[in-house]
Amino acid sequence: MHRHGHGHFRGRRGFGFGHRRFPSREEWLSKLEEYQRDLEQEIADVADVIKHLQGDQPTQTATV
């Protein structure tokens, strides 16, 4: 099954340019900046989940 997304990297045609001409430098820059923002948001979401899960765990002390 093939899944489509907006602004996510999907190989050579993954930046939403479709079957048009090769994108200009400005188009590449815009798409890459959008992709970077998406990744940064995803990283923040993952960090929040990690913090939440760490807060649910009781503190364990290491024994040797």
Q: Structural domain boundaries of the chain?
A: 23-52
Residue 29 pLDDT exceeds 80: yes
Instruction: Identify the pLDDT of residue 21.
Output: 81
Could you give the CA distance from residue 51 to residue 60 in angstroms, rounded to a whole number? Answer: 16
CA proximity to 32, closest of 3, 13, 6, 7: 7
- pLDDT tier, 56 (very low <50, low <70, confident <90, very high otherwise): confident
- Residues 6-26: tens digit of each pLDDT: 555 555 555 666 666 888 999
Task: Give the tokens for residue 63.
Answer: 């024994």
* Average pLDDT for 3-8: 52
Tracing tokens 């760490």 back to the chain, one arrives at 54
Task: Quote the Cα angle for 37-45-43, to 5°.
Answer: 50
